[in-house]
Each structure stands twice: as structure tokens, then as C-alpha cells.
Amino acid sequence: MTAEIDSRWLEAFTALSDMTDRAEAAIRKRDALVRRFDALKRDRLVRSLSDLRKLAAAIVDADERIAEAFIVIHDVINDLSAITPPHEDEDCSR
């Protein structure tokens, strides 16, 4: 007999998957910004310090989005710890 899976468990895993995808996208964006920053410095293509400041600010913004995503991931994991996992429900019903 298959036990019904708690909808909170499914919702939490969906949220975890979504936030993991969001974190991965933010990391890719940040990496691209850092590569661009490094290329500007290396190739001496900087027209003004303002260009570097804007790019540095974009990198900091990307870092903040990454941190926010991992804070939510941490919170979702904490929420999951309060819900009995589906396999434990099945073990108890035997």
C-alpha cells in the first residue's frame, strides 16, 4: 500500500529545485561579469573608472542574489526537517 505523500514535502522540494536553479543562474551570471571585468583589466580596455565601478557593482549585486538564494535554500531545508519524510511514514504504517 502506498502512503499519501505530504503536500508540504512536495512543495518544499519544488521550492528547493526552483531556488537551486535560481542560484545556478546567478552564479553563471556572476562568473560572466567577473570574466568581463578581468578582460577589461587585462586588455586595458577600460575607458573610465566609472566603467569598472559599474561592473564591480553588478558583481556585488550578483553576489547578493546568490546569497539570497542560498538563504532561501537553507530555510527550505529547515522546513523540510520539520516534515516527516515519505519513506518514514511508510515504515511506521507497517
User: What pTM, to 2 d.p., does this model score?
Assistant: 0.72
Q: Please tell me the total count of domains within the chain.
A: 1
Q: For position 71, what pLDDT does the model report?
A: 94
Instruction: Write out pLDDT tens, residues 4-56.
Output: 777 888 888 898 999 999 999 999 999 999 999 888 888 777 777 888 899 99
| Exposure string over 76-94, b if 16+ CB within 10 A, otherwise e | beeeeeeeeeeeeeeeeee
Look at residue 2 and tell me if it is in a domain.
no
Look at residue 26 and tell me if it is in a domain.
yes
* Amino acid letter, 43: D
Look at residue 49 and tell me if it is in a domain.
yes
Q: For position 2, what pLDDT does the model report?
A: 57
Instruction: Write out pLDDT tens, residues 49-93.
Output: 888 899 999 999 999 999 999 999 999 888 888 887 777 555 555
Q: Which domain holds residue 24?
A: 7-82
